[in-house]
Amino acid sequence: MSIAEINISNVDEAVTEHEGLAELRGWVREIAELTRPERIVWWGGTLAETEALSEQLVAEGKLIRLNQDLRPNSYLARSAPSDVARVESRTFICSENEADAGPTNNWHEPASMRRELDGVFAGSMRGRTMYVVPFSMGAVGGPLSHVGVQVTDSGYAVLSMGIMTRAGSEVLDIIARGEHWVRAVHSVGAPLAAGEADVAWPSNDKKYIVQYPETREIWSFGSGYGGNALLAKKSFALRIASVLGRDEGWLAEHMLLIRLISPEGRKFHFAAAFPSACGKTNLAMLRPTIPGWSVETFGDDIAWLRPGPDGRLWAINPEAGFFGVAPGTGASTNATAVDTLWGNTIFTNVGLTPEGDVWWEGLTDEAPAHLTDWQGNPWTPDSDTPAAHPNSRFTVSAAQAPSIAEDWEQAIPLDAILFGGRRATNVPLVVEARDWAHGVFIGATVSSEKTAAAEGTVGELRRDPFAMLPFCGYNMADYWGHWLRVGGLLDAEKAPGIYQVNWFRKGEDGGFLWPGFGENSRVLEWIARRIEGSVSGLPSAIGTLPVPAELNLAGLDLPAADVEQLFDINPASWNREADLTEEYFALFGDRVPDALREELSGLRERLGN
């Protein structure tokens, strides 16, 4: 079958005749020649297209329509059991020089990877539709936005991209004006022979998620799940965008964005980077427990930060939706998220109730008496396996969140940046960095403990610098250096303060010392008061701690001993941690910025070593 024989649907004059789209048309033709789809559809992003594709996927058994009275315009997808999460071992950074990828990325020589991918993509879309999806990260035409085009043979990916990005034909106007666009190629790797029946979740056991930093390309093969298939998310918005930011003087970060509003009406804008399972989404949709304070959501996962002409650091959420982990999301942990999911949502790998609604562990205190689990099997509370896969997801427009800020698509000036990890020991509830370089040192050394909290010692640390370990598109040490350079572009008086928080410190009995969740607003309040200069702080070897009387603990039944332990700084334990940091820095050799080595030396001096 020649390219001329492929059925090209719904292509209007904007695509076929505009001179500015010749390069895009040529690229689509090249991909089609390689992958051999049955037809090509240019995605316009209209409601009619979305409804028609949803109906098609239901008819094909790829989506289950939920009870429209309980969950309007919502669907359930069930993936193959072998395709349920990111595949970091098969994620590659194909930079021209191996050293530019660094020791924390999987590197592959670009030319040989291209040859390998040509082999697996050849004919990979036979019998399927290739969708061409133009999309914008950030508001279309926004000053901090970037655009891309994803081709994919997954209708599920198309619908999800329609939620997670600004996808549609208006992006073509940006490309036609000559602006740079990122190329993203995705195939589930399951070609269909003539007359062959399809399956509900086509995929391939051989998987690749490949980024080419120099040419700004993404190629993904074999998986239809999450960030493996939604190439605008981690692959573009972090791995490729981090390289764009390095080259253009800005930062692409795995961060939430919120606005904290005081009783006096002052607005504070925070970004926060936490590794997985550290309360990121909960903080993004926080409902403060202290009177008079409120939080508005701007984003729950990714932020792009750019120095402004005013010397401040400005941020946008480049995404349009939330792709959240379902288990553990419930009325008691994140009521705002639950309220967001009232409709217009795609759920993946959760349980299905007899009434045609969804359920997962943690959604309610009491499990349904029986339902159908994520693999389509009967389930009861006595079953040996969970109803929902631990990495089951919901995909929903950010605009539906009750906490979403009215101006959430606009850039905001940052007042504070928070770093956190899951630390049972050592790290206090909150500490303020002494300056920008010290804050970068804190971000570079973020970690979570692998050992049980009851052991009460600094055990093996799982490093996740800036919560970017799986997502930085270049050498992590160079990334630290870039953070230092960006700091130099800011007005020192206007740069955001940097803080480390830890909701997870434990006492000798193994229990958490801090209640967390909505009570974390008390920590945010202290940070806001520090920003406005209305509270003081206690200097320590690791940074500035709260004066106990100035941290609002009213209404909390916290024993004085627990509060003391929350802020205890043990020099011997911190010296051991400094040793571990020195070992970690050694992985990166002489690429570690001198400023961070000086911060480590300064920490040792302040600890009395």
Give me the helix-helix angle, 241-248 and 476-488, nearest 10°: 40
> What is d(CA 233, CA 235) in angstroms, rounded to the nearest whole number?
6
H or E element in which residue 253 lies: strand 251-253
User: Euclidean distance between the first and final Cα of the chain, in Å?
Assistant: 73
Residue 378 contacts residue 372 (beta carbons within 8 Å) = yes
Residue 134 contacts residue 169 (beta carbons within 8 Å) = yes
> What is d(CA 373, CA 375) in angstroms, rounded to the nearest whole number?
5
H or E element in which residue 482 lies: helix 476-488
CA-based nearest residue to 269, from 317, 208, 215, 337: 317
Query: Helix %, strand %, coil % for the chain, to 5?
Result: 35, 20, 45
The contacts of residue 172 (CB under 8 Å, 6+ apart) are 14, 15, 18, 21, 24, 134
Distances (CA, A) of 167 to 47, 137, 170, 172, 496: 11, 9, 8, 10, 32
User: How many CB atoms neighbour CB 96 within 10 A?
Assistant: 13
**What are 394's strand-pairing partners?**
324, 347
| H-only helix segments in 263-349 | 280-284, 331-340
Q: Which two tokens stand for residue 322?
A: 């939330």
> What is d(CA 431, CA 37) in angstroms, rounded to the nearest whole number?
55
| C-alpha dihedral sign at 47, 48, 50, 51 | positive
CA-based nearest residue to 158, from 182, 181, 188: 188
User: How many CB atoms neighbour CB 349 within 10 A?
Assistant: 27
CA-based nearest residue to 46, from 173, 167, 149: 167
Catalytic residue, candidates 63, 185, 278, 545: 278
**DSSP code of residue 304:** E
What does the H/E/C string look like for 67-123?
CCCCCCCCEEECCCCCCCCCCHHHEEECCCCHHHHCCCCCECCHHHHHHHHHHHHCC
For 173: left if phi > 0, alpha if psi spans -120 to 50, otherwise beta; the answer is: alpha
392, 397, 401, 405: CA torsion to nearest 10: 140
Is 278 among the residues known to form the active site? yes
Active-site residues, by number, are: 278
